[in-house]
Amino acid sequence: MTQLALVIDLNVCVGCSACVTSCKEWNTSGSAGPLVDERPYGENPTGTFFNRVQTYEMGTFPNSETMHFPKSCLHCEDPACVPVCPTGASYKRKEDGIVLVDYDKCIGCKYCSWACPYGVREFDEQEKVMKKCTLCVDRIYDMSMPEADRKPSCVKACPTSARLFGDIHDPESEVSVAIREDGGYALMPEWGTHPSNHYLPRRKTKMKIHADELERADNPLKLDQQLPKPDKDQSTMDDVSAW
């Protein structure tokens, strides 16, 4: 069994929104028709996007940290949005686990969006059907493209390689290794939807230095537990201690 998914490294994401624009560009130009854009250059631009980058701040200034958080359909292994669909327009592909909407069957009742806790389905106000991330299903299997391009548009666009794409059921795939070794986690695990997309947490590279590492353990003059400090004009043996 295959479950294609994205792994998003929040440690690397800089919040540039290149994934948002490339996603919109690819998916508004496809055979499924344009993604609606209302007042794109007006005062309150709004439209349908499959992917959005949000920004969160943890803590209070000055002890705060900013995190950019790209959010798109998580292609849950147990998608709550699929069984509620009355027409079967919403479905999960058996062969690769991608959750899709058949735009020709959708009646636009919006019930699936109510059943998704993540708010990743967006209604198209022009076509009056529900739309969502397709994991660029019209791209990743397109044999007319070079193999390097057979990846979701957002993954190709990311300048910092914060987005990985692959099969999370294959234990040796890049995404599985990243999830396993870099602490990949799922969003809102409390609902049991088992999201396929995972996020890698922000990590800080820290070096732990113990006190004894700052002193020479074999300091021969360490009688009073203090380093004999040389005067500024005196010569030292190692720039730290002296006779």
Count of positions on this chain that bind other proteins (CB under 8 A):
65
| The binder of other proteins chosen from 12, 16, 115, 137 (CB under 8 A) | 115
Asked if 14 is part of the footprint of other proteins (rule: CB under 8 A), the reply reads no
Between residues 190 and 213, which has the closer beta carbon with respect to other proteins? 190
Among 161, 201, 226, 236, binds other proteins (CB under 8 A): 201
The span of 50-58, 141-149, 157-165, 210-218 binding other proteins (CB under 8 A) equals: 50-58
- E strand residue ranges, 15-80: 37-38, 46-47, 51-60, 63-72
Residues in 22-41 that interact with other proteins by CB under 8 A: 38-39
Neighbouring residues of 74: CB distance < 8 A, sequence distance ≥ 6: 5, 118, 120, 186, 187, 193, 195, 196, 197
Q: Per-residue contact track with other proteins, 153 to 192, x per CB under 8 A?
A: --------------------------------xxxxxxx-
Residue 119 lies near other proteins (rule: CB under 8 A): yes
Of the candidates 86, 138, 145, 203, which one interacts with other proteins according to CB under 8 A?
Answer: 86
Distance between CA atoms of residues 206 and 204, nearest Å? 6
SS3 at position 66: strand
Give the single-character DSSP code of 202: P
Tell the smallest beta-carbon distance from residue 100 to other proteins (Å): 15
Spatial distance between the Cα atoms of 85 and 67, rounded to a whole number of angstroms: 34
From CA 134, how far away is CA 155, in angstroms rounded?
Answer: 13
Nearer CB in complex with other proteins: 185/243 = 185
234 binds other proteins (CB under 8 A): no
Nearest to 151 by CA among 10, 12, 32, 26: 26
118 binds other proteins (CB under 8 A): yes
Smallest distance from other proteins to CB 135, Å: 19
SS3 label, residue 58: strand
Per the CB < 8 A criterion, the answer to whether 69 and 55 are in contact is yes
**How open is the CA angle 152-8-132, to the nearest 5 degrees?**
50
| Beta strand residue intervals within 86-127, DSSP E | 90-92, 99-101, 122-124
What 3-state DSSP class applies to 29?
A: coil
Interacting residues with other proteins between 91 and 110 (CB under 8 A): 105-110
Q: Which residues bind other proteins (CB under 8 A)?
A: 17, 20, 38-39, 42-49, 52-60, 66-67, 69, 71, 80, 82-89, 105-111, 113-119, 121-123, 125, 127-129, 185-191, 199, 201-202
